[in-house]
Structure 1
Amino acid sequence: MNIKFLGATREVTGSCYLVQINNKNVLLECGMLQGSHEHERHNHDPFPFDVATLDAVIVSHAHLDHTGRLPVLIKEGYHGPIYTHNATVDLCEIMLVDSGYIHEKEARWENKKRERKGLALVEPLYTTTEASTTLQYFQGLTYDEEIDVCPGVKLTLRDAGHIIGSAIIELALSENGISKKVVFSGDLGHKNAPILRDPYQVNYADLVIMESTYGDRLHRSWEDTWQEMGTIIANAKSNKGNILIPAFTVGRTQELLYEFKQHFTAWQLADWQIFLDSPMGIKATGVYAKHHEVYDKQAVAIKQDHQGILDLPNLHMSETTEYSMKINQINSGAIIIAGSGMCTGGRIKHHFKHNIWRENAHVLIVGFQARGTLGRSLVDGCEQINLWGEKIRVKAQIHTIGGFSAHADQQGLLTWYQGFKNKPPVVLVHGEEEAMEILAQKLKYEYKAKVVKASYKQNIVI
């Protein structure tokens, strides 16, 4: 039995790992590469394995860097099961179809330019129809339910606490009388995060495959995070400007709404108009409202008091383009939550065009910004940005709120690993080189762990 590492090796997108056992092939994750245009072009590359040989697919959660190439897999002939949590099935119904729409739109724009130049036309990575077709192969599971995936492979999903439905993947493997347990962390949640429970603690494994996104840093405490956000909102109010929040439509958006409700009075939010300007974010919020069985104790208590955990009296849901355009007529007093979370597309870029050159505007960065993205450029202090061929100066105040993360920080990752009583060997994935190296050294020093930093196409025998 062995595992091939085929994505998210020394980077944070494109998760993909192939488990081979008993002449069977089980794919963990089928993620999309995200970031620069050059990077994303590789999503059109052939899979580094024979799709026809796959027996099962397992995905940890709905984010596109873990699921975004599933429709391509189906296009190329895979017609087997895709196992994941029930809430992830519901989210993928939203996210994959939206992704297909974006690919169609991008292909149309590219082909307009190609037609004028007499170049060959391109096909979208996949269409909305192909994304919808993918959904029929999903098989939803609950946490802690053990199932047989194929001969010698038993699967159990544990709560990862990252976004709703996110899972730690436990694989009980058996071949030629030898049994091994492999635990893949998926994306581990940030302890005490809003709405969801903390990551489940597994106590034994023969091999741990662990993310390392924030392996080089510690998050600010939740108390300091809320205090900072309250201060920013108060300052923006006195400056009579707007607040722009590029937020991942799944997870971060719902956490923001939840905390806005919890701090509604303290942050004087009644004085603002709050806009969720994201059709997909609105739908994802509905999924969060539906799956209350995975809430933490505080969110359960709010739900039991017959309150919606995400509703606000001054929240405006903006679904249409026309509504979104009207928001841009507001020069002061608006809090605008919009995708995309790394500012690579979506409606947030339109709001930047109308606000980011204003000195009284504020931009709240509340999520990880990968290299090559517009969001990363803002975090790094760029003085101007390019939007649709127009250079726009950056005069807005840019705030990076590091504590507001859906990923465990270095201490969270170390604490989770500490829970394994036998201190098994670790393969680090889903992290940039620097973060991965620092976490590897910490694991070696503090726990004497055997650590491998996964390389692309590396094969590890279990």
Structure 2
Amino acid sequence: MDHLPTLAFHGAARTVTGSCMEVISGQRRLLIDCGLFQGSRTLETLNREPFPFDARSLDAVILTHAHIDHSGLLPKLVRDGYRGPIWCTGPTKDLLGHMLPDAGRIQESEAERRNRRADRADEEPVEPIYTEADALAAWRQCRSAPLDTSFEPAPALKARLWNAGHILGSASVELEVAGTRLFFSGDIGPEHKAFHPDPEGPSGIDHVVCESTYGDRFATRSASRSAAPSLSRRSRRP
């Protein structure tokens, strides 16, 4: 008997950073994004908290795009034992080859700077959230998938990436789980962009999880950052 999928939001809910959504169906577990919390010190403290799931239990990760608030905790995920594929578009994989190691170097330098402070002389040394080596290990687990082509991120799961028009390589994620079609918008770019085709999405979707930074107002441009996801039923476009 098919198991109806359930969703758990571990970031970008009631804040605009740290995107991370977990899809659970029976024994299958998958993440959409695994982003770094950025902004206030309270938010950044969340990056040091343990994941609310066992990284080793995940079957796959699908990444919408390379911005650090969507990808920046992938090295921590791998360090904590995740050994599966990280699916994304080819351009996103190329960007991550530069961005993730750079993020690891920043984590190391910030930890070193804090440990040199005189007012912390009597405290335990601060460890970086992850290192450049952790970031390179995460990048090596990336697997590229072309837009508008079905693939299996894990057994019994079917996915397709759609152009999101946000940055180079950005994608929305269509996921079919146990007969239910889900759509995760990621960050959506504006229409009529000079260097990117307009965002696209499928029809006949059962549930849409859509960015909603400016969801309560009319605007000539769409949001450039992720936000608290909103769910709609039988939506036809992201």
Offset of 1:97 from its aligned partner?
A: 1.1
Q: Call closer, same or farther: CA 1:114–1:145 in 2, change over 3 Å.
A: farther
Please report how far the alpha carbon of residue 185 of structure 1 lies from its aligned counterpart in structure 2 after TM superposition: 0.7
In the TM superposition, residue 56 of structure 1 has moved relative to its aligned partner by: 0.6
Q: Which residue of 2 aligns with 1:99?
A: 103
Tell me the equivalent position of 2:70. Answer: 66
Cα offset, 1:115, TM superposition: 7.5
Which runs of 5 or more residues in structure 2 are unaligned? none
Q: CA deviation at 1:201?
A: 3.0
Residue 167 in structure 1 maps to residue 160 in structure 2: no
Task: Quote the Cα distance in structure 2 between the aligned partners of 1:211 and 1:116.
Answer: 40
Displacement after TM superposition at 1:116 (Å): 5.6
User: Do structure 1's residue 126 and structure 2's residue 135 form an aligned pair?
Assistant: no
Identical counterparts, % of pairs:
40
Distance in 2 of aligned mates of 1:60 and 1:202: 16
Question: What's 1:194 paired with?
Answer: 194
Per-residue Cα deviation, 1:61-94 (whole angstroms, up to 9, x for no partner)? 0011110000000000111100010000011111
Provide the rounded CA distance (Å) in 2 between the counterparts of 1:114 and 1:77: 35
Give the CA deviation at 1:207: 0.7
> 1:120-163, CA deviations, whole angstroms, 9 ceiling, x for partnerless residues?
10111111121111111000111011111223210100100011
The CA distance in 2 between the partners of 1:152 and 1:117, in whole Å, is: 53
Partner SS for 1:155: strand
Aligned partner of 2:180 in structure 1 is 180
For the residue of structure 2 that corresponds to 1:87, the secondary structure is helix
CA shift, 1:30, in A, is 0.4
User: Are the counterparts in 1 of residues 206 and 234 from structure 2 also a CA contact under 8 Å?
Assistant: no
Q: Which residue of 2 aligns with 1:240?
A: none
Report the 3-state secondary structure (helix = DSSP H, G, I; strand = E; otherwise coil) of the residue aligned with 1:77: coil
| TM superposition shift of 1:216 | 2.8
| Larger fraction in helix | 1
2:227 alignment partner in structure 1: 430
TM-score when scaled to structure 1? 0.47
Contact 1:215/1:431 (8 A) holds in 2:
no
Per-residue deviation, 1:113 = 1.1
1:46 pairs with 2:44 = no
Which of 137, 140, 144 lines up with 2:141 in the alignment?
A: 137
2:92 partner letter: T
Q: Look at both structures and tell me which one has the larger radius of gyration over its CA atoms.
A: 1
Partner of 2:151, secondary structure, is: strand
In the superposition, the TM-score normalised over structure 2's length comes to 0.90
Count of aligned pairs between the two proteins: 231
Larger mean Cα displacement after TM superposition, 110-119 or 204-213: 110-119
Q: CA deviation at 1:110?
A: 0.3
Tell me, in whole angstroms, the C-alpha distance in 2 between the residues paired with 1:95 and 1:208. 29
Residue number in structure 1 paired with 2:22:
18
Which consecutive residues of structure 1, in runs of 5 or more, have no partner in the other structure? 221-402, 409-428, 444-448, 452-462
The letter of the residue matching 1:162 is H
- Give a deviation string over 1:240-282, Cα, whole Å, max 9, x none: xxxxxxxxxxxxxxxxxxxxxxxxxxxxxxxxxxxxxxxxxxx
CA RMSD of aligned residues (A): 2.2
Report SS of the residue matched to 2:117. helix
AA matched with 2:110: E
Q: Verify the 8 A CA contact 1:163 1:406 in the aligned structure 2.
A: no
Q: CA deviation at 1:3?
A: 1.2
After superposition, where does 1:272-291 map in structure 2 within 5 Å?
none
Q: Answer yes or no: is the 8 Å Cα contact 1:22–1:151 preserved in 2.
A: no
Aligned pair 1:211/2:211, yes or no?
Answer: yes
CA distance 1:114–1:133, shift in 2 (3 Å)? farther
Cα distance in 2, alignment partners of residues 194 and 164 from structure 1: 12
Counterpart Cα distance in 1 of 2:80 and 2:206: 33
